[in-house]
Amino acid sequence: MTLSAGDAAPEFTMPATHGREVALARLRGKPFVLYFYPRADTPGCTKEACAFQQALPQLGHIGATVIGVSKDKLPALEKFAEKYGLEFPLASDQSGVAEAFGAWVEKSMYGRTYMGMDRATFLIDGAGRIAKIWRKVKVPGHAAAVMAALAAL
């Protein structure tokens, strides 16, 4: 099943950096950004995370939060967060959340196919519904586009 704007966001609970746990049930009532990225501390993922970190003050004004999601284990995520001063939660998806959101996809490189994380972002409204989806995200300007969509909610 492919998710679309207007659909209910799939339920999730994941462990996150700094001893946190993120769950759809706890986030209801205010909008939030759930972004999926391939791997912590790689060039594109670092640029994306730092762009969202820079946007945090504006996001706080809107009352929204950001959650980054990858298949990395928590120790790697903690190291990534500390290295770049990332204050928002980085969640470790070990339970199929990326699959539920359609962000775990077949990829191909050098003629070899494999499963991997699609760089995708979901804007979830306060009622737990998907307000907007960005798939195959290109990092430059993405955080600004997400901020504009949040402001329009």
Active site (annotated) includes residue 45: yes
Residues 6+ apart with CB under 8 A from 28: 126, 127, 128
Q: How far apart are alpha carbons 60 and 37 in whole angstroms?
A: 22
pLDDT digits (tens, 9 = 90+) for 97-123: 999 999 998 888 898 998 989 999 999
How many C-beta neighbours within 10 Å does residue 37 have? 26
pLDDT digits (tens, 9 = 90+) for 4-21: 999 999 999 999 999 999
Q: In this predicted structure, what is the pLDDT of residue 1?
A: 59
Q: In this predicted structure, what is the pLDDT of residue 153?
A: 83
Q: How far apart are alpha carbons 9 and 123 in whole angstroms?
A: 10
> Is 65:57 a contact under the CB 8 Å cutoff?
no
Q: How far is CA 7 from the centre of its chain?
A: 17
Q: Which of 14, 24, 27, 45 is catalytic?
A: 45
Ordered by start, the domain boundaries in the chain are 37-151
pLDDT digits (tens, 9 = 90+) for 74-105: 999 999 999 999 999 999 999 999 999 999 98
Task: Give the domain 37-151 fold.
Answer: Glutaredoxin (3.40.30)
Q: In this predicted structure, what is the pLDDT of residue 152?
A: 85
